[in-house]
Structure 1
Amino acid sequence: MVALFEPDAVIDTGAAELTRGHEAIRALFEAFAESGRKFQRGEQRPAAINGDLALTSTRLADGSIISEVARRQRDGTWLWVIDRYSVAW
């Protein structure tokens, strides 16, 4: 999962502070996996792309929305720079 993010990316989980950078993101996902929780499935919405930035989002079954901002890399791939989880997460 960490490979999907830029090295200095941030995740807003709703906690007081943002999760910032690969090391903290890795720790977040490790804790998530160890807890036994599962990601919710949802309906992926079409990406809104403007140049080298894209806003992506998923509508979850409970109506909440997860959103991400991705940046196109020099090789043409996309990596997330901001990830904001739903409060329901």
Structure 2
Amino acid sequence: MTNYDEYEKAMRPEDITRFFVERSNAGDAAGVAALYEEDAVLAYPPGGRTVGREAIRELWAKVLANRPRFEPEEPLPTLVSGGIALTSTPPRDGAGARAQVVRRQPDGSWLRLLDQPEFVNPAG
């Protein structure tokens, strides 16, 4: 079983996106999964969903086996209400958006609860 507590924690919602890019580019599927709550839901693969941190780790292990390269994207302003925040980034092609709901943890860090990595406008 992976010890997700060994990874640096996101102390601001915006840190998660930076950690995601760093860990993905390092091929670290467990490090990516450490950014998610235990029962998180990821809207991936397209048209499907992956539920739970372990399933997300397994999915990212497959994705990262192909050594994709992720570039940092400038985040849109984060919306925060109490212990919940909405983070998002516009894709480089300008079509659609990526959005994540993150939740503050008891230790003050933040983890992804819901992740919509790509939302394409059907009219676009």
TM > 0.5 fold call: yes
Structure (1 or 2) with the larger CA radius of gyration: 2
Match of 1:78 in 2: 110
Deviation of the 1:86 alpha carbon = 1.1
Alignment partner of 1:53 out of 66, 81, 84: 84
Aligned length: 88
CA contact (8 A) 1:14 1:85 kept: no
Q: TM-score by structure 1 length?
A: 0.87
CA contact (8 A) 1:47 1:57 kept: yes
State whether structure 2 residue 39 is matched by structure 1 residue 8. yes
CA distance in 1, matches of 2:100, 2:108: 18
RMSD: 1.7
Compare the two structures and name the one with the higher helix fraction. 2
Deviation of the 1:41 alpha carbon = 3.3
CA distance in 1, matches of 2:119, 2:71: 12
Match of 2:100 in 1: 68
Match of 1:39 in 2: 70
Q: Which has the higher contact order (CA 8 A, sep 6+)?
A: 1
Compare the two structures and name the one with the higher strand fraction. 1
Residue 14 to residue 32, structure 1, CA distance change in 2 (3 Å): closer
